[in-house]
């Protein structure tokens, strides 16, 4: 039986990932991400900063290293340093870190044009830094910057560099495709040369995604016996980014049967934290962590899932702490709708199912987004029972907006057959409406009113600015978070529809 490869994962979200245009983590965010990477995801190593960047970066590294030392993780925290005599080593050491990732020139062109030095002179400078770091009790890894161009255009330079360093006690030789120029066939060719010439050395591979080949190149490197891989969460990184951890992990496990220490069940949650801190949204179709990747749209797929999971692969959402969903829209069949009804604990006869399916297809043709939360209201509308089913009914409302005056709202609402009226001002028309509602619930009824935690307005996919707008509101009520949506040509009206949906959901839950 072939031995399964053991792959070491080094995540560089906090260093290379922070080089994404517009991304900057504050020290406490860096500490939180470091903790999630090491404790929750269980990556083997993390690269957290570059030396000499700023005082803020120094403070961030100190915070991370102090925390890591208390948990015996210090040997797994690394900082990028430079061939600058003692300067980088002293900076990193003073921050409490004990591993330096030394940036050296991995191509003859970089060495000659940027440093204006010969290979022998560069090797001497590197060895000086390595010896000094070792004298301070630090481990040293080296990056061969621009290795991909180096091994392609000046292989004798690359071999000369490693020959000069291989006996110096360097722990890992890290081979980056700095400009993202390689394809998988080239990675196989060049990595095999490296492994054949230096079978005793530990090689890491560091991919960039300029040609959208980072994941493919990483896996080609694994085929050739590389021992370590560099990743980032959500594929953050310079230019087009680095190889995303979630994708690399899934393919390593499913296609190579490789062994890693990664806890897959935490990938989605940690990716969302990094999405929030970085401000870089995860595309909905991004493998593993995208919002839509475990959503079946076609009705035939839902039908197949009902019949022995015919449309499922090894990427089961439960592996990653997620659940499979079934979209509702113009391609929905009855199977999709039944799946959503099952989740809600609802059941319809065949005639009712036919009517509900027709209505959802009609809404889909109009580009309206139908959600699982909408289903009870669609059912009520289709079966002509909406008037009886809704415990909260907005009878009328009036909002004003005048220059120099705060917006005002007056509303009349029926709750369980009782009519209430209230008025309020606010910072906007919708805010005034919600304040009036809150008065009814908190002052008149002495009940809790949900907290609005997020408010987003979009044009539905394929929509136009003169068509419907979609308002999605996230609410928190009694430690439960949920979303409601409203569609209308008017943004305020769409938000009000979403709010009335929310109130009915709460009333239904209270009644049950």
Catalytic position from the list 15, 98, 172, 322: 15
Strands (E), 187-241: 203-206, 228-231
Strands (E), 91-188: 99-105, 139-145, 172-176
152 neighbors 114 (Cβ within 8 angstroms): no
The beta-carbon contacts of 369-372 under 8 Å, at least 24 apart in sequence, are 369/329, 369/460, 369/461, 369/470, 369/485, 369/487, 370/328, 370/329, 370/332, 371/328, 371/483, 371/485, 372/325, 372/328, 372/340, 372/343, 372/344
Q: Assess whether 507 carries a catalytic annotation.
A: no
CA torsion angle 324 325 330 334 (round to 10): 90
493 to 139, 363, 488, 504: CA distances (angstroms)? 62, 18, 6, 17
> Comparing C-alpha atoms, which of 154, 78, 96, 152 is closest to residue 122?
154
CA 160 to chain centre: 40
The secondary structure of 457-492 as a DSSP string is: EEPPTT--TTS-EEEEEEEEETTEEEEEEEEESSHH
Instruction: Phi first, then psi: give them for residue 101, nearest 5 degrees.
Output: -100, 100
Catalytic position from the list 29, 145, 368, 422: 145
> Comparing C-alpha atoms, which of 152, 320, 179 is closest to residue 237?
179
Q: Assess whether 145 carries a catalytic annotation.
A: yes
Q: Hey, which residues does 485 pair with through a beta bridge?
A: 472
Positive or negative, the CA dihedral 381, 387, 392, 398 is: positive
Q: Hey, which residues does 424 pair with through a beta bridge?
A: 409
488 neighbors 497 (Cβ within 8 angstroms): yes
Which residues are part of the catalytic machinery? Answer: 15, 145
């Amino acid at each position: 039986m072939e031995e399964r490869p053991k792959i070491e994962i080094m995540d560089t979200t906090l260093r290379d990932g922070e080089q994404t245009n517009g991304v900057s983590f504050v020290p406490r965010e860096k500490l939180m991400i470091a903790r999630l990477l090491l404790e929750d995801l269980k990556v083997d190593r993390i690269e957290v900063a570059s030396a000499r960047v700023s005082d803020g970066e120094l403070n961030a590294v100190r915070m991370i290293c102090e925390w890591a030392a208390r948990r015996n993780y210090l040997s797994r925290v690394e900082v990028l340093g430079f061939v600058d005599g003692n300067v980088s080593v002293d900076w990193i050491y003073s921050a409490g870190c004990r591993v330096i990732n030394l940036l050296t020139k991995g191509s003859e062109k970089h060495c000659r044009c940027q440093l204006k030095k010969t290979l022998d002179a560069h090797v001497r400078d590197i060895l000086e830094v390595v010896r000094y770091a070792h004298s301070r009790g630090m481990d040293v890894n080296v990056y061969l910057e621009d290795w991909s161009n180096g091994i392609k255009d000046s292989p004798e330079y690359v071999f000369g560099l490693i020959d000069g360093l291989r006996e110096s006690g360097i722990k890992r030789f890290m081979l980056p495709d700095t400009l993202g120029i390689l394809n998988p066939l080239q990675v196989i060719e060049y990595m095999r040369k490296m492994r054949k010439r230096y079978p005793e050395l530990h090689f890491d591979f560091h991919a960039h995604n300029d040609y959208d080949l980072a994941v493919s190149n990483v896996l080609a490197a694994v085929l050739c016996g590389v021992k370590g891989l560099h990743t980032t969460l959500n594929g953050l990184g310079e230019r087009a980014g680095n190889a995303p951890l979630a994708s690399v992990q899934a393919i390593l496990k499913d296609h190579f049967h490789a062994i890693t220490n990664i806890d897959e069940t935490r990938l989605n949650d940690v990716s969302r934290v990094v999405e929030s801190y970085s401000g870089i949204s995860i595309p909905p179709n991004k493998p593993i962590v995208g919002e839509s990747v475990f959503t079946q749209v076609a009705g035939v797929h839902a039908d197949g899932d009902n019949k022995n999971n015919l449309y499922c692969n090894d990427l089961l959402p439960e592996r990653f702490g997620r659940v499979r969903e079934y979209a509702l829209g113009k391609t929905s069949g009855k199977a999709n709708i039944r799946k959503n009804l099952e989740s809600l604990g609802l059941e319809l006869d065949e005639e009712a199912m036919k009517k509900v399916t027709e209505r959802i297809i009609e809404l889909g043709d109009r580009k309206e987004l139908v959600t699982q939360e909408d289903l009870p209201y669609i059912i009520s509308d289709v079966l002509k029972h909406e008037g009886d089913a809704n415990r909260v009914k907005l009878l009328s409302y009036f909002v004003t907006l005048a220059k120099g005056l705060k917006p005002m709202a007056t509303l009349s609402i029926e709750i369980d057959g009782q009519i209430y009226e209230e008025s309020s001002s606010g910072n906007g028309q919708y805010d005034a409406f919600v304040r009036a509602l809150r008065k009814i619930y908190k002052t008149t009824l002495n009940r809790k009113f949900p907290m609005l935690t997020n408010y987003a307005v979009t044009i539905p996919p394929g929509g136009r600015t003169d068509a419907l707008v979609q308002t999605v509101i996230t609410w928190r009520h009694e430690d439960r978070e949920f979303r409601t949506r409203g569609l209308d040509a008017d943004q305020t009206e769409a938000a009000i529809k979403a709010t009335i949906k929310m109130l009915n959901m709460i009333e239904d839950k209270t009644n049950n």
